[in-house]
């Protein structure tokens, strides 16, 4: 291999390395996620509410779609989710605390406790 061929290969490899290096951006959405309201109370004596709309709130960029889950599906479930909102519905006659968790595409997550009286 002569020196011109070697120089050409080095130049090509350098350009490829720069292309790969500049194409790798750090992931956004590194801020924490929280849920609002953070501790809703359903079915209290002053209110016979059985559902609540929960909103994912972030300090940075939220990576949609979100994954919503509950710790105890016998108490209640997420009946709909769209964008940064989800609707939690309590199951009739069930009381207790249910932890609702939301996770974005960067694995940032937040939780809220839904109290059912």
Instruction: Give the tens place of pLDDT for each residue, 6-31.
Output: 555 555 555 444 443 334 344 555 56
Cα 34 to chain centroid distance, Å, stands at 9
CA angle 26, 30, 35 (to 5 degrees): 155
Residue 20 within a domain: no
Instruction: Give the tens place of pLDDT for each residue, 30-75.
Output: 568 999 999 999 987 666 789 999 999 987 777 889 999 999 999 9
Q: How many domains does the chain have?
A: 1
Judge contact between 54 and 88, C-beta under 8 A.
yes
Residue 18 within a domain: no
Residue 47 within a domain: yes
The parent domain of residue 105 ranges over 33-116
Secondary structure letter of residue 26 according to DSSP:
P
């Amino acid at each position: 291999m002569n020196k011109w061929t070697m120089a050409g290969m080095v130049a090509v490899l350098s350009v490829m390395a720069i292309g790969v290096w500049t194409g790798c951006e750090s992931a956004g959405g590194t801020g924490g996620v929280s849920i609002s309201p953070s501790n809703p109370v359903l079915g209290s004596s002053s209110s016979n509410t059985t559902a609540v709309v929960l909103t994912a709130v972030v300090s940075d960029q939220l990576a949609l779609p979100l994954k919503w889950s509950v710790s105890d599906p016998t108490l209640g479930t997420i009946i709909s989710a769209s964008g940064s909102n989800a609707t939690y519905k309590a199951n009739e006659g069930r009381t207790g605390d249910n932890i609702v968790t939301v996770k974005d595409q960067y694995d940032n997550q937040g939780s809220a406790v839904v109290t059912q009286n």
